Structure 1
């Protein structure tokens, strides 16, 4: 059984008192044992789209503060062997949604399908880059940006070959039927300060011919793997996480080109790195951030990253003096310059332990593992909420002082939190009549959880 510190020790871990808290409201059960990964909410209709890649389906839910989450439609989109849904998102205002689908051949282009929300009717298909992993509508719905991860590998003689990661920009200003696609290529990241470099000696785990292998990871475009997309509030910039590369690509949307790439550097903070049945943050973690999801603050000033980590070797096998993978943090950067302003240090794992959900078995490998993140203003505060995939929990974070971030609360995402059987991943925030709701897909349970932020 996992042991946590004594009451006196816990008191030293608790941030300054706050009246804000996340409260569980409802649970939607898909009927499937797993797969409910990505969620998106349309503010105007309070509808939620949920992807289920294993079934090739999306569910449309109605979010009713009084009744919870109720399914109003289920659309089967992808037949077995015809690809995989990797992300789904509602248009900000129109009665349609978009899904990105990767090809069953990992070295061939994927596609974005635009479909009517009411009946799932296909409105248009746009061919994009290879292995798309995430997409986002601009705030007005006039552009879509897709992160094409290019993650697939094949054998090439005695080595392995992957195709280039890229970013797709789809212009919808003339309507969905007249969608125009352009592919944004990415440069070699050698020499980009703060990004993963060859001397870091990182590896990536990839399935090749049914076998999980570890592949040396470099800086060339074939080793660049865009992961997640978010927009600035004014829609002029899109931020794309290059997770394994420990960097962010910034797209000038109106110009249709890459603006810049900036590296994210490393973290140093106390951490538990031993799987020994207790939470004891007595070691120093030195690691690349390697974020998955990103968010932008409501005023557009700050870029927030969920520093999950996605490369090997694990801490025990990382050579002395080299960083491991995964910051176990939420970090805040200046959205224009890319300058680091602050991060949560050890607080996510500290508070997960205090809540009784810290996954000690993951101590040697990325801890609670922050995955999704959203940012919004509520009750006079600038806030973020992050999903902690391995802790089966959500973290509420006060961003008012970016240089001194405070994790206000960690709360389990449902019954069995801390067991590793929920795995909250996708996360969405919606404000309705002055109330703030958070929706998260629990990938390993097949459910979707609804929370409310209360004061």
Structure 2
């Protein structure tokens, strides 16, 4: 029996049946987790929210990041989708029914910037954002430790407007809601062999008021926010993770201290008033808060952990042969990738998609399986260490090596793992109001029990079928991105799941009592595929949800709210129509 939908290929465009895989039948059995108390309560009565796939654009390129981050321009009904494989932005036009069609491409190579540099071959496009008829594009240098660019295009005719130089490895960018600024997260990853490590920075670009004024764009429009103060005496907040080898900045770069080089901005979101940016520092498990008017760092706060001994149950082994969810003595380090903001009772809140990420550069790896000999467990805290290290228990679970070690006793008194397997909600100053705990994994298990998902879907991988339980020893479904939508007076979080694929929806109207709503996935688990069989890849549907964009009804060509999901493994971009009925 096929779960999901089968796609029919016609040129570059794939048409989808109107009925996607849904999960509304299992919603009543799920509960909301209140993070401040740890008490589960039944989900309240709610409007019926559904998502229907309207159409999919397929690049025909598989497992090569050919569809990553989307952005929508309401003035032209165009979608701009990062195609990292081609080093360009794919341009898709949505018709009146919301079906995307490929209409152009914007390559980054050859574009001249205001500092006199030119984007050379091998450059990588990482992110896009749209405002007031202008598209901003983040471009990584072919040598990722060198400074990258932000390029600007006119959406009406795709004309190039100009560009500026930014920091090393610009990974995410976002226009402020009023269009005055573009904020760029310059990740500053180390060289692949860890021979050098550029500093992580945040660029705040002051943007001309309209496309016709971009002739005055200069390098002076870029202001840089860095973390050097933490190397110069400012105390680093508790819980902000700084670790790994201390290697120099690349040759020709300005000198920067260990902390400034270690903190790596990942993803940008901007508050609705346009004055404040929140930037995730994934590996550091922190969020940087930036005042856009002054281009200064307002604060830095740590995100904390999910305690799997009390906060929820998880399956921690890929060798137990079953869905085996239980409490374990491990703390998940949230480490979000995508983050988003919304306003609740006049206050800005930050929602985090707690993916988790390891550092593996050169010979340095910051973790391993628990059964590895480096993880000597303290007898007092872990009297059952032998049992925990079995493959069927925590033996194959990937844990972090620089956290939890008691140097005095020479053993690990606590265990930490990558990611939170869900999402969390924070105030603008870092108070955690909610953590989803095991809601994602529990929902998938319940859907399998209800017959709405095949058993193979549980903690499945995105690059292979028949991968039941394969991700249990790592980061589970791996939440990658989160988008916020406001519908009929309620607020929803759309959580993209990278590994199993699809989107899980939560009602977050009350940030202390978020609850599960539904789950959709255009993946057909019955179809086998591999990189040598593109027909199988195409028939399997959407694989590897990476980036998303929410389009409100007021800006939509269908006059209904839409959700766009770009899938990096299948190279597909799917447009979903959102309906809400009371």
Identify the TM-score tier after normalising by the shorter chain: 0.7 to 0.9
Secondary structure of 2:441's aligned partner: helix
Residues in 1 aligned to 2:286 and 2:143: alpha-carbon distance in whole angstroms: 27
- Work out which of the residue numbers 430, 441, 464 in structure 2 matches 1:338: 430
Moved more, 183-192 or 23-32: 183-192
Residues in 2 aligned to 1:250 and 1:262: alpha-carbon distance in whole angstroms: 8
- Work out which of the residue numbers 25, 33, 52 in structure 2 matches 1:23: 52
Question: Contact 1:21 / 1:396 at 8 angstroms: preserved in 2?
Answer: no
Q: Deviations over 1:205-264 (max 9, x none)?
A: xxxxxxxxxxxxx97111111000111111000111100110011110011111111110
Q: Which residue does 2:390 correspond to in 1?
A: none
| Residues 242 and 376 (structure 1), Cα distance of their counterparts in 2 relative to 1, 3 Å cut | same
Does 1:238 find its partner at 2:285? no
Shift of 1:363: 0.8
| Residues 64 and 430 (structure 1), Cα distance of their counterparts in 2 relative to 1, 3 Å cut | same
Shift of 1:73: 2.0
Q: Which residue does 1:184 correspond to in 2?
A: 225
Does 1:222 find its partner at 2:271? no
Unpaired segments of 5 or more residues in structure 1? 1-8, 204-217
Q: Which residue does 1:70 correspond to in 2?
A: 101
- Work out which of the residue numbers 284, 287, 295 in structure 1 matches 2:332: 287
Does 1:87 find its partner at 2:127? yes
Q: Which residue does 2:305 correspond to in 1?
A: 266
Taking the TM superposition and a 5 Å limit, the aligned residue runs for 1:378-393 are 378-393=487-502
Residues in 2 aligned to 1:182 and 1:11: alpha-carbon distance in whole angstroms: 50
Structure with the larger RCO, 1 or 2 (CA within 8 Å, 6+ apart): 2
Q: Deviations over 1:150-187 (max 9, x none)?
A: 013265xxx74311100011011464333301111114
Secondary structure of 1:278's aligned partner: coil
Residues in 1 aligned to 2:339 and 2:280: alpha-carbon distance in whole angstroms: 7
Q: State the aligned residue count.
A: 426
- Work out which of the residue numbers 497, 514, 519 in structure 2 matches 1:410: 519
Residues in 2 aligned to 1:354 and 1:219: alpha-carbon distance in whole angstroms: 46
Question: Contact 1:243 / 1:309 at 8 angstroms: preserved in 2?
Answer: yes
| Residues 446 and 347 (structure 1), Cα distance of their counterparts in 2 relative to 1, 3 Å cut | same
Shift of 1:375: 1.0
Q: Which residue does 1:401 correspond to in 2?
A: 510
Does 1:167 find its partner at 2:167? no
| Residues 85 and 178 (structure 1), Cα distance of their counterparts in 2 relative to 1, 3 Å cut | same
TM-score by length of 2: 0.68
Question: Contact 2:242 / 2:263 at 8 angstroms: preserved in 1?
Answer: no
Secondary structure of 2:273's aligned partner: coil
Q: Which residue does 1:212 correspond to in 2?
A: none
Question: Contact 1:392 / 1:417 at 8 angstroms: preserved in 2?
Answer: no
Q: Which residue does 2:564 correspond to in 1?
A: 439
Secondary structure of 1:362's aligned partner: coil
- Work out which of the residue numbers 180, 184, 188 in structure 2 matches 1:146: 184
Which of the pair has more CA radius of gyration? 2
Question: Contact 1:296 / 1:304 at 8 angstroms: preserved in 2?
Answer: yes
Shift of 1:365: 0.7
Residues in 2 aligned to 1:282 and 1:436: alpha-carbon distance in whole angstroms: 38
- Work out which of the residue numbers 329, 343, 349 in structure 1 matches 2:422: 329
Moved more, 78-87 or 394-403: 78-87
Question: Contact 2:485 / 2:552 at 8 angstroms: preserved in 1?
Answer: no
Residues in 2 aligned to 1:146 and 1:406: alpha-carbon distance in whole angstroms: 32
Question: Contact 1:225 / 1:243 at 8 angstroms: preserved in 2?
Answer: yes
- Work out which of the residue numbers 151, 166, 171 in structure 2 matches 1:128: 166
| Residues 417 and 323 (structure 1), Cα distance of their counterparts in 2 relative to 1, 3 Å cut | farther
Moved more, 183-192 or 402-411: 183-192
- Work out which of the residue numbers 314, 318, 328 in structure 2 matches 1:275: 318
Moved more, 264-273 or 166-175: 166-175
Secondary structure of 2:367's aligned partner: coil
Q: Which residue does 1:207 correspond to in 2?
A: none
| Residues 263 and 303 (structure 1), Cα distance of their counterparts in 2 relative to 1, 3 Å cut | same
Residues in 2 aligned to 1:298 and 1:46: alpha-carbon distance in whole angstroms: 27
Residues in 2 aligned to 1:226 and 1:232: alpha-carbon distance in whole angstroms: 17
Residues in 2 aligned to 1:245 and 1:417: alpha-carbon distance in whole angstroms: 39
Shift of 1:75: 2.4
Residues in 1 aligned to 2:90 and 2:569: alpha-carbon distance in whole angstroms: 16
Residues in 2 aligned to 1:373 and 1:10: alpha-carbon distance in whole angstroms: 20
Residues in 2 aligned to 1:143 and 1:130: alpha-carbon distance in whole angstroms: 19
Shift of 1:65: 4.9
Does 1:60 find its partner at 2:181? no
Shift of 1:417: 9.2
Shift of 1:45: 3.5
Residues in 1 aligned to 2:98 and 2:286: alpha-carbon distance in whole angstroms: 41
Does 1:422 find its partner at 2:543? yes
Shift of 1:298: 4.9
CA RMSD of aligned residues (A): 2.8
Unpaired segments of 5 or more residues in structure 2? 1-25, 33-42, 111-119, 246-256, 359-365, 369-396, 401-411, 448-452, 461-468, 528-539
Residues in 2 aligned to 1:137 and 1:413: alpha-carbon distance in whole angstroms: 30
